[in-house]
Amino acid sequence: MGILCCKFLKDSPDALNQSLHSQSPQEPQAKVTLDDFETKTLLGKGSFAKVVLVQKRSDNQLYAMKILKKKEISIRNEQEHILSERQILATARSPFIVSLKYAFQSRAKLYMVMEFMPGGELFYHLTKLRRFNEETARFYIAEVIIGIEYLHSKHIIYRDLKPENILLGLDGHIKLTDFGLSKIVSELNFKTRTMCGTPEYQAPEIIMDCEYNKAVDFWSIGCLMFELISGTPPFQDPDRVVLKNKILYQSLSFSRLFSESAKNLIDKLLVKNVICT
């Protein structure tokens, strides 16, 4: 992957390399309870979880607290995904992965307290600007690739790369978040078969219900790169069946916004010759 991307990424800012050594994610620390935090505002909400901005009373430090309802987790049979997410967050040692600071529970809820990323979602900034110039896209993609390659080195398939799951710090660097769909696989069998992910970013292997490996994350990187430069995903349609057929059969179409090196890299990432076994 590194060799494939080197031409497109060769001019990434020096700050990228500096940031690799500037941060050190920590293990979840001493035992805390909900009373140790003051809730500030809602950051996001899903079907059985929400994320709130909290401030630790002892030192006024801000964190993002993910609150999950145990009953809903059980009803949706999400126990394995939640345990996997906690394990990934607690053990990640990459400056491009959000770190888990505290984890605790009550009778009805689970709490995961993570570092707060004040810059918000990359999706927000992309929506506001409509698209990024290629230099900016190159910078973000370089950091995403390092984060993804770190996960792969730990035998983790991310499976949910999209602008909404990329957070920005005040320093402008990114961190990947939301590992609810990530899969920790065997070192000997780096494959799985679960149907999951955001439809516009799903690789053909997933759509065709084939056994797949970490290559599905490379596909998502290609989709992300295309969207950052053009403002829209390479394949989109409100009709899921039509979207599926576009992903499987429609050829890529590049506008004048794409350089030759960007087109070359995206072409190599969005390969459709899938053979199910």
Catalytic center residues: 160
DSSP 134: H
Rounded CA-CA distance 243/32 in Å is 46
Q: What tokens does 2 get?
A: 């590194």
Q: How many helices (H) and strands (E) does the chain have?
A: 10, 10
Dist. CA 100–CA 110, nearest whole Å: 13
104 phi, psi to nearest 5 deg:
-155, 180
Q: What's the burial of 175, exposed, middle or buried (CB within 10 Å: 0-12/13-18/19+)? A: buried
Q: What Rg value do the Cα atoms of the chain yield, rounded?
A: 19
Tokens for 20?
């690799």
The residues, ordered by sequence, that sit 6+ positions from 91 with a Cβ below 8 Å of its Cβ are 154
